[in-house]
Amino acid sequence: VHAARAFARTRWLQMRLRSRADVERHQNAGLTRLARDLQAHIPFYQGLDGPGAWPVVDKAALLADFPRFNRAGIAVEEIRAALAAGTDHVRGHSVGQSTGTSGNRGFYVVSDAERFVWLGTLLAKALPDALWRRHRVALALPGLSSLYRSANSGSRIALGFFDLADGVEAWADDLARFDPDTIVAPPKVLRRLAERGQLRATTIFSGAEVLDPADRALIEAATGRRVREIYMATEGLFGVGCRFGTLHLAEDVVRFEWEAVAGSGLRIPIVTDFTRRAQAMVRYRMNDLIALEDRPCPCGSPLQAVRQIEGRSDDLFELAGADGRARMVTPDVLRNAVLDADPRITDYRLVQTGPGTIEVHLAEALGGSADAAVRAALERLVARLGAAPVAVEVKSGIAVPFDRKLRRVIRDWQP
């Protein structure tokens, strides 16, 4: 019922929000309602006088004061204990954690109703014709709880769930039998299916991880179909690709503010979800680096378009400058240096392991010439940025993790 209502509401808003002015009016009304609710129910915001007084919070601030950010006062330890005991409910609320490394996990509290609202909103944006056309949708996403599996999703949309942790090979045949017209999965899963010739859905959504241009090219070449993106995280649903392949931010449920990353043209989103009530997600600083698109999309949507999600802000490489000033290097610049070094490279890992050391992993089959080309490309890049020389170590062999997020550019070192 909640999913169906969210579906209808999202579709209704798509009709109604025609211009930026419409979007802003809608957001302001949402923020006013949110402010009232935060005052009444969320301890952290009580006594703060409306949106102007809400501070920007990041994951560390949220974790430090977690019970005061949710309506039920649930603590992180309670979530951990519940999950360890095999349940995903605490005091009537759904709880969960993201699949980060242990020191870097995110935790969340949502009501069961909000979970179905999330699903209904997602489906309305992804499959707007589902009111009159039947769909078979395969979902292979992290954190899909048992709740969805037991749900009757309605007659028009048949949902199939596939467990990421089992690996693609474990369920590829089941997926073929389910015969979906639409699939939503992380890009590494889409790529693996495409390489096996088993990606046959007509509508392909990539979600839950950064869609690397190399993966997009490979999947689109193998299937002849456009890959659309869903921008989602532990923190919520932030954008869905339209039929033209443009990723539009979900500004009908979230207000975005932007923090510029100096010298890069990339921005870090600060999000306020004005629909969620179980846990406040208010002026929350995300860990993403985003390039916005200035041109309007041919679909006519007034929702802001995204050119590319480039990676995570805590994976910015920080190199010592020759002049003593640090140089930040964004993942897109690093990626392009590697991919442009040798046209045979379609996968890689780049890890900053120390202030002046970078480790590169390449596929075994490429051999020494690719190693040398990548090393030279990175050294050129570092010199061009005015950073002190770095030691580049090239290693052979790449593993694809199916039990956790794939990151190609990683800063494994704290400045």
Return residues touching Zn ion (CB under 5 A). 242, 244, 246, 297, 299, 301
Instruction: Please give the C-alpha separations between residue 215 and each of 110, 190, 193, in angstroms, as whole numbers.
Output: 32, 9, 12
- Cα 193 to Cα 173: distance, rounded to the nearest angstrom: 11
- CB closer to Zn ion out of 161 and 244: 244
One DSSP character per residue, 259-272 reads EE-TTTS-EEEEEE
- Cα 13 to Cα 85: distance, rounded to the nearest angstrom: 40
- CB closer to Zn ion out of 206 and 234: 206
- Beta-bridge mates of residue 183: 138, 204
Q: Which two tokens stand for residue 185?
A: 């999965």
In the complex, what is the shortest distance from the CB of residue 6 to Zn ion, in angstroms, rounded to a whole number? 21
In the complex, what is the shortest distance from the CB of residue 357 to Zn ion, in angstroms, rounded to a whole number? 42
| Beta-strand relationship, 236-241 and 89-90 | unpaired
- CB closer to Zn ion out of 124 and 242: 242
User: Residue 122 corresponds to which amino acid?
Assistant: L
- CB closer to Zn ion out of 246 and 287: 246
Exposure string (b/e) for 119-149, b if CB count within 10 Å is 16 or more? bbbbbbbbbeebeeeebebbbbbbebeeebe
- CB closer to Zn ion out of 126 and 242: 242
DSSP state, residue 48? -
Q: Residue 208, by phi and psi: left (phi above 0), alpha (psi -120 to 50) or beta?
A: left
In the complex, what is the shortest distance from the CB of residue 247 to Zn ion, in angstroms, rounded to a whole number? 8
- CB closer to Zn ion out of 301 and 330: 301
In the complex, what is the shortest distance from the CB of residue 290 to Zn ion, in angstroms, rounded to a whole number? 16
In the complex, what is the shortest distance from the CB of residue 302 to Zn ion, in angstroms, rounded to a whole number? 10
Helix 368-384 crosses helix 331-341 at what angle (to 10 degrees)? Answer: 140
- CB closer to Zn ion out of 239 and 311: 239
- CB closer to Zn ion out of 242 and 316: 242
In the complex, what is the shortest distance from the CB of residue 245 to Zn ion, in angstroms, rounded to a whole number? 8
| Beta-strand relationship, 391-396 and 357-362 | parallel
In the complex, what is the shortest distance from the CB of residue 119 to Zn ion, in angstroms, rounded to a whole number? 22
Q: Which two tokens stand for residue 243?
A: 């039929």
Shortest CA distance to 137 belongs to which of 163, 162, 172?
A: 162
Q: Residue 292, by phi and psi: left (phi above 0), alpha (psi -120 to 50) or beta?
A: beta
- CB closer to Zn ion out of 165 and 299: 299
Place of tokens 């509290």: 109
- What is the total residue count of the chain? 415
In the complex, what is the shortest distance from the CB of residue 227 to Zn ion, in angstroms, rounded to a whole number? 15
In the complex, what is the shortest distance from the CB of residue 183 to Zn ion, in angstroms, rounded to a whole number? 20
| Beta-strand relationship, 135-139 and 182-185 | parallel
